[in-house]
Structure 1
């Protein structure tokens, strides 16, 4: 069954000729009424034009009515021309929708350093409204680049309001805000100040807890749009549901990392602070040594000890505990275990390490993937 957007939202997707493959590469979502919204963008100092423009609009605080996304070209490191092209995209989509350009957010993803083929982009935008419907699946597919599958998630609140999320991301992913594209759409009525106040922490616990390869993109962003058409909701229930959607999408991104064959999950407890717990978990997930061990089904827990130790998190080595797939392997000292049995358990689709740092009661969790030869192949051949 196809996934539909919450009431008031419609989407369109088409092949505009941006991707050489001829696949869908231009898409948009529009709301029939103004949306409150929250945004997080990459902290990269070489951020793309779409991030820079959206950040400026965010500071203004005006409502949003639409989102336009192109895939296949990041429009990053393209200077003043790239910024002008990005603005022209928003203006063109606003014109065909009869909304202000400043009510249109933009997002671009793909290869860095190439100018957009604006003749194709603008021609596509002109015809994009002809494709508008309530389906989310086509939009989720159109925003992909090296992803192997679309990523969607949804939650229905007790009031009947819905949250539908879509994301893309497979490589160039590391915690430094959003680490890919993530877009959530809801018909819940949510106060903008409350939404913006809660969003950074949600992003930190979800998309900033994903790492594939240690590299942060120029174009990363996460956005949530709320048009209020389902009426008021309990704020705390809504925020829990939004985090659940974001967490689901984050795990899907990690599992679909370039060349990945399995999801890597690291759960840290016993930390002094949540920030230190997340730092320890993230450092484990980005370690090439640990990722390689996971790929080879090697229960080399010493690589966990190494990663935790360099993460900056406080650790009491005498109280430190580590498990691999539920098997205790270290409790202040090495424990005996059946190496072959634990190795066999690591052949699962998800490999879970738990780590108790032994210095507090804070927790954090991060997600990554194994490191395979396929990752090198994908990125060695990316532009050629």
Structure 2
């Protein structure tokens, strides 16, 4: 069943010749009215031109009307030329939509250090408005790079307003403020101040709780755009639904990690603070040793103890507990268990570790994936 955008949003996607494969690689979303919006971008000190420009627009506080995305080229580490090309993309898309350039956000993803083929990009932008529809599926596919499948999620509120989210990400996933790409669009009316205040904690509990390989991208960003065409909604209900959409997308990214065969979920409770719970969970998810054990169905809980111990979270080892796939394996010390039975239970699409740090009441959850030989193959062959 095809996915449609909320009221007032339309999108277009096309193959502009950025990707050598010939797949769709240029896409855009536009709103019939101005949007309030919230943004989170990578804190990498080598951030791409799109992140830098979006951050400047965010500080300005003005509404936006459109988002332009290219895949296959990150336009990162491309100097002044890359910044100028990014600005030209926004200007060109704004011109064909009759929208000010400062009302157009940009996002680029792909290989770092290559200049954009601007003749193809600008030619494609000219034709994008001809392809605008209410369908979201083509847009979700056009933003992919090494992803094996599109990532979408949606929610409908009690008022009938909707939230539709799309994301891309498979490798170079260890976000710091955001994730590879995550875009949410809603026809709910939400005040910009309230949206911006609530967005960072939501990002922290969702996209910042995802890791595939421990590498933070130069192009990471998350956005939510609200055009208000479906009217006002209860703020608490909206924020709960938005976090649910973002959480769904985050889990899809983890499950589609490069070379992944399993989703790795780590739940941590008994922490002093939510930040420490998330740190412990995320450290477990990024550990190459634990990820390898998950791939091999090895219930080696010692690797959990190791990861928690280096996470920076406070732990009372005498009260620390660990379970694998529902089987308790540690409670202040080793517990007897049937290793063969637990190993068999790990031959599943999702492997879950539950940990209690024994020092408080805060909790958090993170998601990752197993580490397979395919991860090495994919990245060894990425540019060659």
TM-score by length of 2: 1.00
User: Matches of 1:303 and 1:101 in 2, distance apart?
Assistant: 50
Deviation at 1:177, TM superposition (A): 1.7
Q: Output the CA distance in 1 between the equivalents of 2:134 and 2:345.
A: 42
Give 1:203's aligned residue.
203
Aligned partner of 1:29 in structure 2 is 29
Q: Which residue of 1 aligns with 2:137?
A: 137
Q: Deviations over 1:198-247 (max 9, x none)?
A: 00000000000000000000000000000000000000000000000000
User: How far does residue 178 in structure 1 lie from its aligned partner after superposition?
Assistant: 1.2
Matched with 1:329 is: 329
Alignment match, 2:240: 240
The offset of 1:179, in angstroms, is 2.2
- Report the secondary structure of 2:89's partner residue: helix
2:96 is paired with a residue whose SS is helix
Counterpart in the other structure of 2:302: 302
Secondary structure at the aligned position of 2:28 is classed as strand
Matches within 5 A, 1:36-185: 36-185=36-185
Partner of 1:252: 252
Structure 1, unaligned runs of 5 or more: none
Structure-2 separation of matches of 1:212 and 1:49: 24
Q: How does 1:243-322 map to 2 (within 5 A)?
A: 243-322=243-322
Post-superposition offset of 1:82: 0.2
Q: Distance in 1 between matches of 2:298 and 2:219?
A: 35
Deviations 1:35-61 (A, max 9, x none): 000000000000000000000000000
State the Cα deviation string for residues 261-307 of structure 1 (Å, max 9, x = none).
00000000000000000000000000000000000000000000000
SS across alignment from 1:276: helix
Aligned equivalents of 1:179, 1:89: Cα separation in 2? 22
Distance in 1 separating the partners of 2:313 and 2:113: 37
Measured in 1, the distance between the counterparts of 2:123 and 2:146 equals 25
* Residue in structure 2 matched with residue 377 of structure 1 by the alignment: 377
Structure 1 CA distance, aligned partners of 2:304 and 2:234? 40
CA distance in 1, matches of 2:29, 2:306: 45
What is the aligned partner in structure 1 of residue 190 from structure 2? 190
* Runs of 4+ residues over 6 Å off in structure 1: none
In 1: Cα distance, 2:261 partner to 2:206 partner: 21
User: Matched residue of 1:182: which SS?
Assistant: strand
d(CA) in 2 for partners of 1:53 and 1:65? 15
User: Structure 2: which 5+ runs fail to align?
Assistant: none
Q: CA RMSD in A?
A: 0.3
* 8 Å CA contact 2:175, 2:217 repeated in 1: no
Q: Compute the displacement of 1:175 (Å).
A: 3.1
Q: Distance in 1 between matches of 2:79 and 2:29?
A: 27
* Number of corresponding residues: 384
Q: Where does residue 9 of structure 2 map in the other structure?
A: 9
Report Cα offsets for 1:309-359 as digits up to 9, x if no partner.
000000000000000000000000100001010000000000000000000
Cα shift at 1:374: 0.1
